[in-house]
Amino acid sequence: MEDNLAKVKISDIAEKAGVSAGTVDRVIHNRGEVAEKTRQKVLAIVREMNYEPDILASTLASKKSYRFVSLTPRADAANPFWASPTEGLKQAWQEIRHFGVSLDQYFFPYHDRAAFTSELDKIINNPPSGLILAPIFTEQTIQAMEKLTQMKIPVVFLNTLVEKQQNISFVGQAPVYSGMVVARLLEYGLHQDAQISIINLVSEKGGNTHILNREKGFREYFSSSAKSSAIQLNTINITSQDPLEFDSLLEKHIGIDDVKPKSHGIFVTNSKVFLVAEFLEKKGMKNFNLVGYDLLEQNQGFLRKGIIDFLISQQPHQQGYNSVITLFNALIMKKEIAKNQYLPIDIITKENIDFYLNN
């Protein structure tokens, strides 16, 4: 733990090797223009003396600068989720900007494929040192990744994973497992002959792999749970934006058993769970166990009221934060980077929510 021995410096190595500091520097950074024999000699001494570069002095002297760019959905009323990752990006940047890092945040409207593409083009035309990308649209991402890889620009995928790409890392949640967690929570609170509705509230425009995987994990759990073989699952997909239609669809599917109230669970596969909570509240339907995703303001309210039982959170702020740190570790600290950085699947209740809100 303790290093009593004074720090070894480049000048120490230079002296011992009988060369100049410049030569040692060339060896250490593999910049060539050094005789092989000299190189070996210096390398040996570097190892022998256990040299560790002073990163502060190094960045101060080198005057290198790094431009990090992020491309994420814009947070707005329809998409409050993205406010947190955006904040997380900024906060991490604040902590590392002394190392000559700048951060440009680019945005696109969540469902706007064209905007996504054109922002990506802009980025490619003014290449950054590293890119943090929320790869919402799969095809466009794959196309861009081809160019980015060629240009040797390291890319971190944020929140969404596109498989088989040359991204240096993915930072986000494992959606299949989060579905299993929800399954577990519903099973734990329901009778063994309960009925469960899986509700997908989606736009038709894609960007829904998350949701599919969450449902997949959820169903997997029940298909392998002996305990709950009598539980019935049915899926409801609602794409309509029209409130009236929404209500009647819900009523049709979950309202029916109201006469003979029976243990009934509802799994909303994304952050729109507050819409279902609103419906239940309006209709005075209390006999439901309701679980969904993300700590949006609206969801918080229903969680505190007890209409939503659990929310699954995916550490959105930390996702943004970790993405920046990942690029920093790769480019400035030259560390090895894990390809997948899965964040915890947090289970949130009325009782612990306050401890998750800043994070």
Partner DNA sequence: CTGAAAGCGCTTACAG
Residues that bind a second copy (CB under 8 A): 1-3, 54-57, 59-60, 90, 98-99, 102-105, 174, 177-178, 180-181, 183-185, 188-189, 221, 309, 342-347, 349-352, 354-356, 359
CB of 113 to DNA, least distance (A): 40
**Under rule CB under 7 A, residue 138 binds DNA:** no
Restricted to residues 60-79, the positions that interact with DNA (CB under 7 A) are: 60-64
Nearest to 238 by CA among 230, 247, 229: 247
Smaller CB separation from DNA, 32 or 284: 32
> Taking CB within 5 to 8 Å according to partner kind, which of a second copy, DNA, none is near residue 22?
DNA
Q: Which does 180 bind (CB under 5 to 8 A by kind): DNA, a second copy, none?
A: a second copy
Residue 184 vs residues 163, 221, 265, 302: alpha-carbon distances, Å? 27, 8, 12, 21
d(CA 346, CA 299): 15
Tokens of 152: 């040797």
Q: Give the rounded distance of the alpha carbon of 280 from its chain centre.
A: 31
Among 15, 53, 90, 189, binds DNA (CB under 7 A): 53
Task: Show the CA angle centred on residue 278, arms to residues 273 and 282, nearest 5°.
Answer: 155
- Residue 203 binds which entry of a second copy, DNA, none, CB below 5-8 Å type-dependent: none
Closest approach of a second copy to the CB of residue 176, in Å:
10
Number of residues that bind DNA (CB under 7 A): 31
Min dist CB 337 to DNA, Å, is 20
Minimum CB–partner distance for residue 93 and DNA (Å): 19
Nearest distance from residue 35's CB to a second copy, in Å? Answer: 31
User: For a second copy, which is the closer residue by CB, 174 or 296?
Assistant: 174
**Which entry of DNA, a second copy, none binds 104, CB below 5 to 8 A by partner kind?**
a second copy
Among 40, 48, 57, 223, binds DNA (CB under 7 A): 57
Q: Could you identify the residue written with the tokens 């060629």? A: 150
How do beta strands 195-201 and 232-238 pair?
Answer: parallel
Q: Report in angstroms how near the CB of residue 43 gets to DNA at its nearest.
A: 12
CA distance 218 to 231: 13
* 248 vs 17: CA distance, rounded Å: 82
Binding mask 12-51 for DNA (x = CB under 7 A): ------xxxxxx-xx-xx--xxxxxxxx------------
Q: Does 54 bind DNA (CB under 7 A)?
A: yes
With CB under 5 to 8 Å by kind, the binding choice for 99 among a second copy, DNA, none is: a second copy
Pick 46 or 156: Cβ nearer DNA: 46
Which among 252, 251, 302 is positioned nearest to 272, based on CA atoms?
A: 302
- The pairing of beta strand 310-313 with beta strand 264-268: unpaired
Helix pair angle (36-48, 21-28), 10° resolution: 90
Residues in touch with DNA (CB under 7 A): 7, 9-11, 18-23, 25-26, 28-29, 32-39, 53-54, 57-58, 60-64
